Structure 1
Amino acid sequence: MSLGSSARKPIHTRRITMDAYLREDSLWELEAHLVDVKAYDFPTKVGAMHQAGDPVHDMTIVLLVTPDGVISDVRAKYQAAPYDSACMAIEEAYRGLVGLHLLRQFRAAVRDRFGRVDGCTHMSELVVLLPTVFVQSLSAQRREHAEKTGKKPFQLEGCHALALTSPVVREFYPEWYVNSQDGSKRRVRQS
């Protein structure tokens, strides 16, 4: 998608893939993979020529997570990094995520533990996306639980489209819709 008619020349591409796997032992594996490539050749710091399309960064992190969101194991791995072993030396530090809860102040904890020189900018960028992957993976289970218990679905009020006053909530979650037409926030019961 371009924002104009001016010709564009590709320079840099970052691809991020994230996958969630439910294991037979009821634990979750959340895997994040990042690859950066340049569209041009350039000389490296050690005098070699880095070829266009070859990864500048290629890294993966896998979290083992309990059903309630606690990280029980971590593995970080670099397949390519601009400073090779110097970059790769931080892999083991990401085991410091063990014990954290994905849905309770996780991003702040990552920033505190792995900010600046205590981590890798790109690995940390990947890690902070994983709570959303976990939530997306649990959505069917959470929906079932909300329906059985009568509790408000977790996603309501999580974004503008799911505000309790929105047309989306009125249509798909009528029991949680709030009519604010007259300035009051009273629940509208629909049959």
Structure 2
Amino acid sequence: MANPCRKKSEPRHIRLYHNITGTDAWKSLSGNAIKVLIALVRLDDGKKNGQIYFSDRQASFETGLARNTCIKVLRELGEKGFLRIVEKGHFDRKVRHATVWRYTWQAVPGLSGPTRDFEKWKRPNNKTRDQKLTQPGSNNEPWVDFDVATGANIEPDIPPKPQKCVQAI
């Protein structure tokens, strides 16, 4: 018989704390990176951090993204400090295993505490992901080059040149 005084267990869930989602590294992540990170964290049951086997093919299967996109995203998550490789995966004839990952905001059971590398990440000076809508010093008036943008042939409002009068003799 179950103990009636025992608290009911919570269903499995993923916690993303404000101190994780408020960092510059989180704000600069792509949507695909967040999707793959959540898919990886779903594999953990609270005791597997540091022993999460996750390949780019599995990431592709779990998220519906292309395999090459998953490779880029896992590299992005590693560069920004959310994930670290514990053991690099490889495929040869005898041993086939995926890369073993750990996420950095929780301790690895029995090995080390959380490193929280994403808090140390700083945005580089060259902002490659920011959208540049106008060039510095450009003219921002929408009516300039209207006919070029729309392809319309609009005659300017310039009065016609006066014609010389020629008298017949």
**What TM-score bracket applies, with the shorter chain setting the length?**
under 0.3
Which structure's residues are more often strand, by fraction?
1
TM-score (norm 1): 0.24
TM-score normalised to the size of structure 2? 0.26
